[in-house]
Structure 1
Amino acid sequence: MATGQLFSRTTQALFYNYKQLPVQRMPNFDFLCGR
């Protein structure tokens, strides 16, 4: 990871109080933005 870079392709996240709809929107948004 480069200096100052917070996230990489291997970054993992842990979700508390899991709700499927908001969590699903994040990957969809990333996909649409081309991340």
Structure 2
Amino acid sequence: MYFNYQNLVEKQASEIDSLQNKIEKLETKVNKN
């Protein structure tokens, strides 16, 4: 059963990138207070 594994990995990688961006924004908010 081979599905397009590369697409799945890339999708997860982009989701991780967006989560990291959200975390960084939250951290800068916390550090300002």
Q: TM-score range by the shorter chain?
A: 0.3 to 0.5
Normalising by structure 2, report the TM-score. 0.44
* Greater percentage in helix: 2
**CA radius of gyration, larger in:** 2
